[in-house]
Structure 1
Amino acid sequence: MIELIKKLPKAELHLHIEGSLEPELMFKLAKKNQIDIPYKDIDDVRRAYNFTNLQTFLDIYYAGANVLITKDDFYELTWEYILKCVEDNVIHTEIFFDPQTHTARGVAFETVLSGIKEALSDANAQFGITSCIIMCFLRHLSQDDAFATLEEALPFKDDIIGVGLDSSEIGNPPSKFKDVFKKAKEEGFKLVAHAGEEADFSYIYEALDVLGISRIDHGVQSINSPELMQRLKEEQIPLTVCPNSNIELKVFDHYQEHNIKQLLDFGLNVSVNSDDPAYFKGYLNQNFINICENLPLTEKDVIKLVKNSFNSSFISEALKQAYLKRVDLAVAQ
């Protein structure tokens, strides 16, 4: 099974670029930019990666992001992730970035985006990896703050395919951002949102019915509503599930308890993703390996999960078909 996982070309739809900041790069950039970070050394950072919930992770995530200052920093961050894509046979990636995390520190929107975009452009030229960029609003901040960020993004509409919603979920329901998502849709952005990770399935309903999103990030709490499960199955709304993240943030205590196999067996359109891989102990292949070693997933299940990710992506139908043929070819070989 591990050989199959490594061999299959894959897409990743739920990846926070700031969450791919490895401790080594964090220290390198902290030194270069003369930023104080609350860790003595790399081992000290890794010891801090022992989370009890989403908030304990976010505290470290935002502290780490402070070292990102220049366009070159964002380029290097993105390029390091691209090298992991090459290693894991990820041929298409749709990455999130959190502009508010940086603009609040005085880093210009354009600085962040241009560094990410150049690295992705080079990834396509050098490795043939295709990509999309999705801008996320931080849900612990106000809708007014999100509107200001949307305004900053408008000159770069050609570079940003969609908007999302991330950060502290509980107490910040999707409905809080109803108006800014309406405006984003009018501006032509595709809509996604984190929902039903820690908060209950009502957040998934809100993301679908109030925000009008086309893809749910996480969504594992949907299993607690038979009606919602049926709807997700009938409408084939994608759920971008992140197994390592769910374990590290204590959504499930053990991989054996993870419900991705149940969601898949029910007929839901689920895919596997790595979320914040530097913090959650593994990139895309490791997420696949962890669930395969702990759940009764078959080779057919793994192939289905991989195909779901391409089918749920924001690429053209022609490119989807080309990528799905590559999956079939890898299986045949």
Structure 2
Amino acid sequence: MYQFIAGLPKVELHLHIEGSLEPELMFQLAKRNNIDIPYASPDEVRAAYDFSNLQSFLDIYYQGAQVLITERDFYDLTWAYMLRCKTDNVLHAELFFDPQTHTSRGVDFDLVMKGICGALAAAEIELGISSQLILCFLRHLDEASAFDTLNQAQAWKQQIVAVGLDSSELGHPPEKFARVFATARQQGYLTVAHAGEEGPSSNIIDALDILQVSRIDHGVRCVDDPQLVTRLIDEQIHLTVCPLSNTKLKVFASMEQHNIVDLLYKGVSVGVNSDDPAYFGGYMNDNFNALANAHPLTYEQLAKFTSNAIDASFCNAQRKYELQQQLQVYLDKQ
């Protein structure tokens, strides 16, 4: 099974680029930028990754982002992730980035974009990996900050395919950003949102109805509302599920209790993603392997996660066809 997963073509739709900052690179950037961090070694950083909930993770996540200062830093961060994509046979990735995490520290929006986009362009040429970029608003900040961020993105509209919503879900429901998302849609952006991770299933419904999202990030709490599950199936609304993240943040006590496989059996469009892999202990292959170790899955079912993600991606029709063909060729060889 490990061999099959290693060669399986994959598509990742839920990846926070800041969450791919490995401890070794964190230390390298801290030294390069003369920034003090409260850890003596990369191993000490990893030891701190013992999270009890989403907020305990976010606290250290924002702390780690402090080392990202220059265009080169954002390039190196993104390039390191794309190399991991190559290792894990990820053929297409759609990356979230959190500009407010950086602009609030005085880092220029354009600088962030130049670094990330430069690495993504290089990855397409040198590694053959296609990508899309999604701007996320931090939901614990206010509407005015989100609008300001949307305005700063104007010069980069051709490089940003969608806007999203992440950070602390509890206490920050989708309707808080209804006007921002309406404006973004008017400007031509697609929309996605984190919902139904720690927050209630009603957040999923509101993200669909109020924010008019194309897909739901996480969404595992949908099972609390059978009518919602039926709607997800009928409308084939994709859930970008993150197994290792969900167990690391105690959304599920163990991988055996994770509901992604049951949702797949029911006909919900679900895919496997790594979320913040540097913090949650694994990239795409690690997530697939963790699921395969905990649940009885066939080759066809594992491939279905990829097929679902291809269909839900923001690729053009030609790229989707190419990806589906590559997936089918791989399956036919088994």
Shorter-chain TM-score: which interval? over 0.9
Q: Which amino acid aligns with 2:42?
A: I
Q: Any gaps of 5 or more consecutive residues in structure 1?
A: none
% same residue: 55
Q: Kindly provide the CA deviation profile for residues 161-199 of structure 1, in whole angstroms up to 9, marking residues without a partner as x.
A: 000000001000011000000000000001000000001
Task: Name the counterpart of 1:66.
Answer: 66
Task: Name the counterpart of 2:195.
Answer: 195
Task: Name the counterpart of 2:137.
Answer: 137
- 1:53 and 1:38 map into 2 onto residues whose CA distance is 21
- 1:296 and 1:224 map into 2 onto residues whose CA distance is 24
Using the TM superposition, give the Cα deviation of residue 296 of structure 1 relative to its aligned residue in structure 2, in angstroms: 1.8
Using the TM superposition, give the Cα deviation of residue 9 of structure 1 relative to its aligned residue in structure 2, in angstroms: 1.2
Using the TM superposition, give the Cα deviation of residue 51 of structure 1 relative to its aligned residue in structure 2, in angstroms: 0.3
What secondary structure, in the 3-state scheme, does the structure 2 residue paired with 1:11 have? Answer: strand
What secondary structure, in the 3-state scheme, does the structure 2 residue paired with 1:105 have? Answer: coil
- 1:114 and 1:162 map into 2 onto residues whose CA distance is 17
Q: How does 1:317-332 map to 2 (within 5 A)?
A: 317-332=317-332
- 1:202 and 1:2 map into 2 onto residues whose CA distance is 37
Using the TM superposition, give the Cα deviation of residue 309 of structure 1 relative to its aligned residue in structure 2, in angstroms: 0.9
Calculate the TM-score normalised by the size of structure 2: 0.99
- 1:156 and 1:32 map into 2 onto residues whose CA distance is 28
Task: Name the counterpart of 1:267.
Answer: 267
Q: How many residues align?
A: 333
Task: Name the counterpart of 1:5.
Answer: 5
- 1:230 and 1:2 map into 2 onto residues whose CA distance is 33
Task: Name the counterpart of 1:220.
Answer: 220
Q: How does 1:117-128 map to 2 (within 5 A)?
A: 117-128=117-128
Using the TM superposition, give the Cα deviation of residue 110 of structure 1 relative to its aligned residue in structure 2, in angstroms: 0.5
Using the TM superposition, give the Cα deviation of residue 37 of structure 1 relative to its aligned residue in structure 2, in angstroms: 1.0
Calculate the TM-score normalised by the size of structure 1: 0.99
Task: Name the counterpart of 2:316.
Answer: 316
Using the TM superposition, give the Cα deviation of residue 71 of structure 1 relative to its aligned residue in structure 2, in angstroms: 0.2
Using the TM superposition, give the Cα deviation of residue 86 of structure 1 relative to its aligned residue in structure 2, in angstroms: 0.5
Q: Which amino acid aligns with 2:268?
A: L
- 2:280 and 2:299 map into 1 onto residues whose CA distance is 25
- 2:295 and 2:172 map into 1 onto residues whose CA distance is 32
State the 4+ residue runs in structure 1 displaced beyond 6 angstroms.
none
- 2:91 and 2:48 map into 1 onto residues whose CA distance is 32
Task: Name the counterpart of 1:151.
Answer: 151
- 1:295 and 1:256 map into 2 onto residues whose CA distance is 7
Q: Kindly provide the CA deviation profile for residues 115-149 of structure 1, in whole angstroms up to 9, marking residues without a partner as x.
A: 00000000011011100000000000001110000
- 1:109 and 1:176 map into 2 onto residues whose CA distance is 23
- 2:304 and 2:9 map into 1 onto residues whose CA distance is 12
Q: Bigger CA drift: 240-249 or 34-43?
A: 34-43
Q: Which amino acid aligns with 1:117?
A: C
Q: Which amino acid aligns with 2:176?
A: K
